[in-house]
Structure 1
Amino acid sequence: MPTLNRKIDAPVLDADPFDETHLADPYPLHELLREAGPVVFLERYQVWAMARHDEVHASLTDHGTFCSSRGAGLSDFHKEKPWRPPSLLLEADPPDHTVVRTAMGKVISPRTVRGFRDTFRAVAEDLADELVARGGFDAVTDLAERYPLKVFPDAVGLPSEGRENLLPYGALAFNAFGPRNTLLEDALAKAAPVQEWIWASCQRDALAPDGLGARIWEAADNGEITHEQAPMLVRSLLSAGVDTTVYGIANTVQALAANPDQWARLREKPSLARFAFDEALRYESPVQTFFRTTTRDVEVSGVRIPEGEKVLLFLGAANRDPRKWGPDADRMDITRRAAGHVAFGMGIHQCVGQPIARLEAELVLTALAERAGHLEPTADPVPKLNNTLKGWSSAPVSVRAT
């Protein structure tokens, strides 16, 4: 699509970040984008893009200029009807966003998350015992999918029947942030029964009385949110707490297996588990991209972006920007100070489920590190293509007990 009748004072690139080659291995494209300039224009989609850490971080924290209410994907909600009612958290701005975010902050309070620790740890240790005894397992299907899909739905209070719908729903939700390509079409084709189960499971009568979902409905009873908002916030919790955690844990285990020196460090000191997870989020970010829309004309690093323009923020590229992380940005180092990465977003739209994701990852990595003296890949990991997420459909490893 030509950039006719538009003044573009940034490098113009024909690269397609949603091409399957780039989705499988985005890092060469990330380097191209970062080196082209602080802001570039992607001609194929007629959108602006940022891939350097400083610009991405600044945009994420300036919700007044780079809004989410017009969609966190390529689609502009002022011009197109969204495929589902927009998320009250991810696709909203203040003051509406502030009300629901405050309510969710009370639901997922530090005290609540601490209350999950003993239960989550027991499940993690039992699973680690089983996998180490096997001598080998798939880091995706045997660990990263099984563990979160057990402990998190239990914490929410979801019905036990139908939980297999959570991952297809997440695949649809994250593919929908990109263009209407084959990945999105395939996800939409499988969507009807999945969406029906998700929506039914978000209703009060489907949820256990002591779970996070029930607490959201209690917030509605207390007048903190409306009863119409309650099921939508339960739905948001499912989006925020499943797929990114699954991808994050799988990416971490695969990266540790592929970097034996880093696994040795974690084995020697399992208390580094939460730092290993943070570094893996930086090194192999589950969420690679999000869009924003400008609310006014704005100048970013000398480039003028007009009002009403879509801006693609490359979180994964920012997390490997050598300007921020130094010349070894492409190397995994679990002793690195990874604070400042944008894998969970930044600012008011930072992932609401991240405290639970961090707890899950810390406990399952600790359990594995305490039991396995050896961890290495037995085959190359197989990419799992998604318009927004970066991860694996399979990552087989061998393991040996301490």
Structure 2
Amino acid sequence: MTTTYIPRLDFDPFSVETISAGPTAFDEMREIAPIVWLNKYEVYATCRHELAQKVLRDWKTFTSTVKAFGEREHIPNILVQEDPPEHSAHRHPIMKFFTRVGLNSYKEFFETNADSLVDSLIGTIDVDGFEDVASAYILKVFPDILGMKEMDRGRLLMFGDLAFNSTMPANDLYKDCKAKSGDILEWFDRQCLREAVTSEGLAEEIYKLGDSGEVSLNSAQLLVRAIFSGGFDTTVLSITSALKLFAENPEQWDLVRTDPSLISNAFEEVLRLEPPSRFLGRGVNAHTELAGVSMQKGDKFATFLGGLGRDPRKWDNPNHFDVRREKVIAHMSFGHGMHSCLGQGLARIEFVSIFAALAKKVKRIEITGKYSRNINNQANGFNVLPIRLHMA
């Protein structure tokens, strides 16, 4: 029994219209009430920062073993759909690869590749921020550090589109994407096999955890697949979103050019405004009350990250892009609690490397044509961004 009135909304977070509108599509839903009920999906939802923080922190009550909108068909359940002790048994052995110390060994590699890419763009009048900057960079460095052998890296974006669409497996957007995908699932699985990776990369280090018994051999393969499948699309989209925000706010670009140490904070601000993942879902594991709403075991709950990042209860002037915003790292675009994104440190190094390289040689970023938002159930950002890089 609820003690607070819950608005029942026909609002569809997964319609093409809602996705096209971006994070501001959740403004009205956030202001209607702390918690709403989505009629179409029979799911409780919030777009308020404080409530989402409580939900994502409490894994015992709000379990990750149940997803709000259905099973993830093409993303392994390992890590993302586990709670302790299984989650701990899989996350702890690989955490050493994603600590600051573990990632520092790749820093020079990322910086060198970023400088080379920016150098290659000098003299090019117009480029696409998604294809020629973000994708060109991430699809080079990320598979390389994993140790993937020769492959058609462009196909990774097709796989990523399908994988993230599958977080809402019942809708037409996912079904249409799957119908067009051909053999992409089989192809991706082959890229993750041990014989398909080099002996020097991160994937082989994870496979060695299986050899040593720290995880099972099957778990090692699933971990490689999970890390690979979740490690490129979101970073590509974040870089593209940043290019757009800097183009629209040239005074902010001037700030990071003058003081490159601001680039790290700029990344967090980009994630707050344009989270690369649209939502996080949980299952209610025990009777509980949240914001006066009584929930029962078996209920489902969703938090929409675009709404959280612009919640005026948490952020002053929430729609303003400010690379000097204080405590912006409190955003939850990487999740929160024990299920926070494993690869967030890696994403930060990649982002800082490419924007540090751009800041050295690009005095202004200009949008030169029509841009478009990525239409995907989960992955948020822009997949067409025509820009001109005005070199210093």
* Fold conserved between structures, TM > 0.5: yes
1:372 corresponding residue in structure 2: 362
C-alpha separation in 2, matches of 1:86 and 1:252:
29
Q: 1:197 aligns with which of 165, 168, 187?
A: 187
For the Cα contact (< 8 Å) 2:44–2:302, is it kept in 1? yes
1:331 corresponding residue in structure 2: 320
TM-score where L is the length of structure 1: 0.93
For the Cα contact (< 8 Å) 2:129–2:240, is it kept in 1? yes
2:40 corresponding residue in structure 1: 44
How has the CA–CA distance of structure 1 residues 368 and 386 changed in structure 2, closer, same or farther, with 3 Å as cutoff?
A: same
How has the CA–CA distance of structure 1 residues 206 and 27 changed in structure 2, closer, same or farther, with 3 Å as cutoff?
A: closer
Q: 1:291 aligns with which of 281, 285, 298?
A: 281
Deviation at 1:233, TM superposition (A): 0.4
C-alpha separation in 2, matches of 1:34 and 1:161:
43
Is residue 2:97 matched to residue 1:107?
A: yes
Q: 1:157 aligns with which of 116, 129, 147?
A: 147
Is residue 2:69 matched to residue 1:74?
A: yes
For the Cα contact (< 8 Å) 1:294–1:308, is it kept in 2? yes
For the Cα contact (< 8 Å) 1:248–1:285, is it kept in 2? yes
SS at match of 2:313: helix
1:342 corresponding residue in structure 2: 332
Deviation at 1:58, TM superposition (A): 1.4
SS at match of 1:322: coil
Is residue 2:52 matched to residue 1:62?
A: no
Deviation at 1:173, TM superposition (A): 1.4
Deviation at 1:125, TM superposition (A): 0.5
Deviation at 1:110, TM superposition (A): 2.4
Question: Any residues of structure 2 matched to 1:3-402 within 5 Å, and which?
Answer: 9-71=5-67, 73-75=68-70, 83-84=73-74, 86-326=76-316, 328-337=317-326, 338-402=328-392
C-alpha separation in 2, matches of 1:316 and 1:225:
35
Q: Match of 2:80, as an amino acid? A: L
Tell me the alpha carbon deviations over residues 30-62 of structure 1, each in whole angstroms, 9 at most, x when there is no partner. 111111111110111111101000011111111
Q: Match of 1:117, as an amino acid? A: K
C-alpha separation in 2, matches of 1:362 and 1:246:
13
> Unpaired segments of 5 or more residues in structure 1?
none
Tell me the alpha carbon deviations over residues 130-162 of structure 1, each in whole angstroms, 9 at most, x when there is no partner. 223313311100011110100000000112223
C-alpha separation in 1, matches of 2:3 and 2:350:
48
For the Cα contact (< 8 Å) 1:33–1:51, is it kept in 2? yes
Tell me the alpha carbon deviations over residues 212-231 of structure 1, each in whole angstroms, 9 at most, x when there is no partner. 10011111111110001111
Q: Match of 1:329, as an amino acid? A: P
C-alpha separation in 1, matches of 2:246 and 2:75:
39
How has the CA–CA distance of structure 1 residues 207 and 241 changed in structure 2, closer, same or farther, with 3 Å as cutoff?
A: same
C-alpha separation in 1, matches of 2:230 and 2:332:
15
Q: Match of 1:215, as an amino acid? A: E
C-alpha separation in 2, matches of 1:222 and 1:90:
23
C-alpha separation in 1, matches of 2:271 and 2:288:
30
For the Cα contact (< 8 Å) 2:75–2:163, is it kept in 1? no
Deviation at 1:198, TM superposition (A): 1.7
Deviation at 1:6, TM superposition (A): 10
Deviation at 1:176, TM superposition (A): 1.0
SS at match of 1:323: coil
Aligned length: 391
Deviation at 1:164, TM superposition (A): 2.4
Deviation at 1:204, TM superposition (A): 1.4
How has the CA–CA distance of structure 1 residues 311 and 61 changed in structure 2, closer, same or farther, with 3 Å as cutoff?
A: same
C-alpha separation in 2, matches of 1:249 and 1:24:
18
Q: Match of 2:382, as an amino acid? A: W
Tell me the alpha carbon deviations over residues 209-267 of structure 1, each in whole angstroms, 9 at most, x when there is no partner. 11110011111111110001111100111122111111111111111111111111112
CA RMSD of the aligned region, Å? Answer: 1.8
Deviation at 1:291, TM superposition (A): 1.1
Q: Match of 1:297, as an amino acid? A: H
TM-score where L is the length of structure 2: 0.96
Deviation at 1:301, TM superposition (A): 1.0
SS at match of 2:28: helix
How has the CA–CA distance of structure 1 residues 253 and 26 changed in structure 2, closer, same or farther, with 3 Å as cutoff?
A: closer
> Unpaired segments of 5 or more residues in structure 2?
none
Q: Match of 2:361, as an amino acid? A: R
SS at match of 1:49: strand
Deviation at 1:374, TM superposition (A): 1.6
For the Cα contact (< 8 Å) 2:74–2:163, is it kept in 1? no
How has the CA–CA distance of structure 1 residues 118 and 184 changed in structure 2, closer, same or farther, with 3 Å as cutoff?
A: same
